[in-house]
Structure 1
Amino acid sequence: MDGINLNALSENATRLGMRIQETIAEHTRDLSLTRGGSSLFDMADDKTKNITKQLESSSDREKLDAMKRLIALISKNRPVSSYFPAVVKNVASPNLELRKLVYIYLLRCAPSEPDLALLSINTFQRDLADPSPLIRAMALRVLSGIRVPTVATIVLMAVRKSAADPSPYVRKAAALAVMKVYKLDQAHHQTLLDIMTTLLRDRSPLSLGTAVLALDTIAPSRLDLLHVHFRRLCRALPDIDAWGQVDVLRVLVRYARTMLPKPVPASERQEEEVDKDLKLLLACAEPLFMNKNPAVVLAVARAFYYLAPPPMLSKIGAPLLRLLSVSREVERVALAYLLVVARSHPALFITSHNRLLVRVDDAEQVKRTKISVLLALCTVDNHQTLLREFVDYAQDTDDSVAGDAIHAIGRIASLVPSSTSQCLTALMGMINSKQDIIVSNAVLVLKSLVQHQLLTPSCNPTTTLATSLSSQQALLTSSIPSLTPSIPTSLSAAHLPFTSSESTSIVQAPLSIIAQLARRIDDIRHPHARACVLWLVGQYGSVPGTGTTVEGVADWAPDVLRKAARSFNTEASIVKLQTLTLAAKLILLAPTHRTLILLAQHVLTLARYDEDWDVRDRARMLRALLVGAVADFMSSNDEEGLGENWNKKEHAGRPGVVLRREQVTRVLFEGKSGTIGEEPVADSRPLGTLSLVMESESLHLHDDDDETVIDLPEWLEQGIDPALRDSDDDAPQAALSSTAQAISSQAISSQHVPTPAGSTPVVLTPAGGSTPKDTKDWRDLNKFYASESESESEDEGEEGVEEGSGIDDDSGEDEETSEDEGDEEDERVAEHDPSPSHEKTVL
């Protein structure tokens, strides 16, 4: 018996174990499908062949597996249109997850199979009447996503029906569908505007933001439709979803600048005038600075930047700085906004410049933007700190960051003139660097600084420097009085009232810098840097007097030309152009020096056969200029007979003008600007555009299909009539606010305040119908309590009233009703004045 029981128990245990294993395998099969997503991307032929069979299976699990494989094929851009008929059969499946995947498939493949997509439209129309709002919204989303022009009318009818749906989720889907219908067929524009009028009256914040976005998409210029909704949209801003807030703020900013009057700045006699509707918008948008979505914070910052008066702009600083620590992606966008604000209002961030210092792990674009922001915040107080930072940034491994830092050093010298000597010292130290990018950028900045210093009459503000060459020669003449000037009279500037000490302190350092650069021309290999050195040597290489090897020319200038001529064929085009200009300037300064003339002719001959036509044109132009200025230029060593041919052509009557030496000097030396490129005061790229973040002027914010550029409109000096923004929503709120103010004032004035002896008692008249109509006189509160206690002591069913109470009750009501009414009156009076020591109340 015991053996039989043991056998039965073991058999049952075996069956139970098998059943448990089957149950676990059955329940974990779905988990394996979701967890092991990599198996869905297995594109073996045996698995793709079974997709059609799985779609036609009766098991939802098989269908789900097939649809997931199809979505995986779509993600890999594989053709899946052959499965369209089998997928359409499952469009009405009761399984919600399966239906979602079918909808995704139809949205992707309907444009390629428009005829087959029409087979599922009836199902979607039936789903629009489904009890579940989720199904109704999904059906509308897919129906409007089928980009087949033939179904535009059907989709329009579905959108109109869904716009009046009781569910705000469905109405939100209807607003999104309006944009799709408009892109599909713009002939229904007026009908869509009528639907938008209905959606804009929606009370639900869930669909209000999408409705505003849809209106901005189909009719961006019809801001007049927002007149009666403007104040309601402002009040609903905190309740709208985050991405809806971004869209609504963008539209409201355009509305404010188009319809509201521009704030009048405050003057000494009158306060700043700000429209009340603009105040409402800013007041409702200000709490959104604390939103956790960075896009909302940036949208509010943009609204305040373009709408708020100057005293309110201080609220932008802290939120923008807070975004710098959210993520790297958000930091880059926030810095782009911060740069625009800092250039126009640097006082907002001057005290927080330490939070904008470059970190080692910052991205390249972030580093460059931070350098620009720090440069915008440079003042006399913090320029020493920023100069040290920029010197460190110049050693960055990224060439673009190092170049921006070096150019920022030059900008500091321009913004704070007292720091010029420190900036020059830092830049001269960079010339000895082994990195070509540092040397080249340092030379470029030095060229601008030196030229700016030589052209600035800082010693005497009344002095006017007519030409760059004459000013430089005048300074040299005053600094070296022992040398006798031997330059032409037309280039002399001895009339400038500079003393020796003054000019030496100003000019000595810049000219010595040029001399150092000229001696290091072989170490400077960057084309632009070499071109800058050649230009400086030619522009400021003249020395009045006879103490040099070449009369009138510095000793290092001819050697620079010799080195440039030796490597002329291997130089870049920009270096060749400056070499030609240098040769022309030197022989113009020393027209009788035979070696310089031969060297110049050699360079011009090389340029005559150069591959670059710009170089050939420059050589041809300079040769023509020098013919009349230098007498021996064409005749000296003229082996090819160029001078003779030129004279023959001139005598033959060929039209042309031969310039004198003074005229050629004016052409080559005068009119050279010596200013450093200024940073723009205000960025031309508006906030909220892609071009601002990408730093490209060619990128603008466009609509998807039409190329209409959405620009920020200009302010109106006089806005439209504020009465146009009045609506029915304002009247109840105004009445409610006035009532609340009256109640609050009454409560504050009467609470715990004794009534004067001569005051009039407050009379409360019951509004109910239970009050006897033939009451002859009134009783006060004390008598009311006394009569109530007496009436309770009487027997039930007894009718009548005491003679001392002063009440004639002829209503014939029973005692229970009277007691209930008395209790209600007692509660009503107690709520108004619970203490009998207060005002004497008459009932």
Structure 2
Amino acid sequence: MVKHLASNDLVIKKLACLYLEKCANQKNEDLLLALNTLLKDCADPNPTIRGLALKTLCSLRDAELMQYSLKPLKLALQDQSAYVRRIAVMSCARIYKSLPLVIDDLGLVDLLYGMLRDSDPIVVVNCLHALNEILHSEGGVVVNRKIAYHLLNKLEELTEWGVATVMDVLTNYKPKSENEVFEIMNILDKFLGHSNSAVVEATFKVFLHLSKDLPHIKTEIFKRIKPSLVSFLNAGNPEVCFMILTFIDENILPESGDLFADDIKSFFCKQKEPVYLKVKKLKIIPMIASEDKVKNALDELMMLSKDHSIEVAQNAIFAIGKIAVKHNCHLGTCISRLVSLFHLNVDYISSSVLQVLKSLDIDQLGELEKIFHGLEQCAEVIQDPEGLCAMFWLLGEYGEHIDDAPYMLEDYSEKLGELCDTGVKLHLLSACVKLFAKRPAECQDTLGKLLEFLMIEEKDCDVQERARFYFHLLQKDVEYTKRLVLSR
């Protein structure tokens, strides 16, 4: 391996260096013998070889061996080749992980701050990365006015990812006056319309940071960035779309939920989009749907509620429920749309609808019999524990409006042995007690058999104790028990 490392063939030398980096955790003769060759290469006339040797030396991850890299590292920070300086700067971060105390002894932090004025833009960006790594416990790079304006003036020379890095660092700078805030915003304004989404996102975070004490200009900032975000959503790249949606969800919607109301169609799902992206959009649609856009949103959600993906279909149904809560005047429309899904006779769809109905305040609506018209037929397909719990809750809460409610509960009581989930059993018991309070003649026999089975044969202690509790309540005072279970 040492012979290969000393080869004049650059490709072979690179492979040998890669091998040494991979074996860095093992102390063996190869590493010791290679050390002299690497130190010699650090003074080679070819900058590519100098950079490769330094990178390999600083990647050995052995404290004793890395001591030998300190002198070449300090010389490389002042090398004439920009490539070597780039490697040297990033090597400082590698040294810090293995020999953190050496960083202070050699004064590398001050050297890196000084190199922020390097003529090579990539060296500048690498310095920011290295300083953020070394000063992580102190909050990263400390940015004063001189550094901030120097970085602002460098933006035109940087790559897109260099610009994004500088933007992240600028969030550590606090301007002294409002005029300075607007001056920096004017410099950065053009980057809000950049073609790279990472640059736009990073720039917006700087704007949010600068306007922290100026809430009156936040609305204008949101309006300024909106066209760029919408264009990225319409571009069709799933990964970029997901990043933009997450950014909107975390940074914009908490403060300006109606900003994208007019562009709600940009948030609608496309057929070939991956599931994770559709789910993210379904979370956001209810948040941005204004009252005049509810119909459009419901049409989209109803279509997605029949999606072949279970996760998408369920989230679409839950989104309809969120719209019903947000826009109470459309509660009846939302419920009628949800109830129409019962006829599909699909387990996870019916289950999700029942869970949403449970969460809504449907007492304010008239003609509840129509709402629960399809409940009997969907009871045959529900297998999901959460769906069963929601159905039993609805039967107990609105059983007086459902003709077959006592007989539905009787059917499940008779096959109680097939129900394994504790929550399902508790909801069934509570529903029977509530319905007994409303329709005692039809439920008395079912409740008696259910309590007897649960108190004698049930093995689940929680269910058994709940059954005993209801039994003793009914035994002591039936009327009081009715008032208790029906109280809200």
Task: Report percent identity of matched pairs.
Answer: 26
1:193 CA displacement: 2.3
Q: What is the correspondence of 1:665-704 to structure 2 with a 5 Å cutoff?
A: 665=482, 667-671=484-488
Residue 101 to residue 520, structure 1, CA distance change in 2 (3 Å): closer
Deviation at 1:326, TM superposition (A): 5.6
C-alpha deviation, 1:564, in angstroms: 2.0
Q: Who is 2:337 aligned against?
A: 426
Corresponding residue number in structure 2 for 1:216: 132
Equivalent of 1:136 in 47, 50, 61? 50
Letter in 1 for 2:452: T
| Cα offsets for 1:740-783 (capped at 9, x unmatched) | xxxxxxxxxxxxxxxxxxxxxxxxxxxxxxxxxxxxxxxxxxxx
Query: How far off its partner does 1:174 sit?
Result: 1.5
Q: Deviations over 1:604-628 (max 9, x none)?
A: 2332333434323332333343332
Q: TM-score, normalised by structure 2?
A: 0.88
Residues 352 and 597 (structure 1), Cα distance of their counterparts in 2 relative to 1, 3 Å cut: closer
Question: Measured at CA, do residues 225 and 346 of structure 1 come closer, stay the same or move farther in structure 2, by a change above 3 Å?
Answer: closer
Correspondent of 2:158 among 224, 228, 240: 240
Matched residue, 1:317:
226
* Offset at residue 347 of structure 1 (A): 4.1
Inter-partner Cα distance in structure 2 for 1:289 and 1:618: 60
Structure 1 runs of 4+ with >6 Å offset: none
Residue pair 2:21, 2:59 contacting (<8 A) in 1 also? yes
1:92 maps to 6
1:355-366 correspondence to structure 2 within 5 Å? 355-366=266-277
RMSD of aligned alpha carbons: 2.7
By how many angstroms is 1:560 displaced? 2.8
Query: What is the deviation of 1:207?
Result: 0.7
Amino acid at match of 1:581: S
The separation in 2 between residues aligned to 1:281 and 1:232, in whole angstroms, is 12
Matches within 5 A, 1:55-66: none
Residue aligning to 2:214: none
Alignment-mate amino acid for residue 327 of structure 1: N
State the Cα distance separating 1:183 from its structure 2 match: 0.8
Q: Could you give the per-residue CA deviations for residues 643-691 of structure 1, whole angstroms, max 9, x where no partner exists?
A: xxxxxxxxxxxxxxxxxx53x45653344xxxxxxxxxxxxxxxxxxxx
Residues 514-593 of structure 1 mapped to structure 2, 5 A cutoff = 514=372, 516-517=374-375, 521-542=379-400, 556-573=404-421, 574-589=423-438, 593=441
1:382 counterpart SS class:
helix
Q: 2:85 aligns with which of 171, 193, 203?
A: 171
Q: Deviations over 1:453-488 (max 9, x none)?
A: 31x5xxxxxxxxxxxxxxxxxxxxxxxxxxxxxxxx
* Aligned position for 1:188: 102
| Gap regions ≥5 residues in structure 1 | 1-86, 262-273, 457-505, 544-553, 631-660, 672-843
CA distance in 2, matches of 1:282, 1:88: 55
Aligned-partner Cα distance in 2 for 1:402–1:370: 13
Contact in 2 for aligned 1:371/1:405 (Cα 8 Å): yes
Larger Rg: 1
Query: 2:321 aligns to what?
Result: 410
* CA distance 1:99–1:288, change in 2 (3 Å): farther
Equivalent in the alignment of 2:38: 124
8 Å contact 2:343–2:378 — kept in the other structure?
A: no
- The alpha carbon displacement at 1:185 in A equals 2.0
> In the aligned structure 1, how far is the partner of 2:15 from the partner of 2:308?
49
| Distance in 1 (alpha carbons) for counterparts of 2:338 and 2:69 | 68
Asked whether the 8 Å contact 2:163–2:199 carries over to 1, the reply is yes
Q: Is the 8 A contact 1:163 1:174 kept in 2?
A: yes
Letter in 2 for 1:209: V
Q: Is the 8 A contact 1:414 1:420 kept in 2?
A: yes
Whether 2:300 is the aligned partner of 1:389: answer yes
Letter in 2 for 1:453: I
Partner of 1:16: none
Aligned residue in 1 for 2:26:
112
Change (3 A) 1:118 1:621: farther
**1-side partners of 2:37 and 2:209: how far apart?**
49
| Structure 1 Cα separation of the partners of residues 117 and 139 of structure 2 | 16
Q: What is the alpha-carbon distance in structure 1 between the residues aligned to residue 179 and residue 29 of structure 2?
A: 56
Aligned CA distance change for structure 1 residues 359 and 172 (closer, same or farther; 3 Å)? same
How many Å apart are 1:223 and its aligned residue?
5.2
Aligned residues: 474
* 8 A Cα contact 1:196 1:211, kept in partner: yes
Structure 1 CA distance, aligned partners of 2:420 and 2:385? Answer: 6
Deviations 1:171-221 (A, max 9, x none): 221221111011112222423323333333434322111111111111122
Looking at structure 2, the residues matched to 345 and 668 of structure 1 have their Cα atoms a distance apart, in angstroms, of 42
**Cα offsets for 1:203-251 (capped at 9, x unmatched):** 4322111111111111122557432412212222232233333332222
CA distance in 1, matches of 2:314, 2:181: 44
412 and 98 in structure 1: CA distance in 2 versus 1, 3 angstrom threshold: same
Residue 431 of structure 1: how far off its partner (Å): 0.8
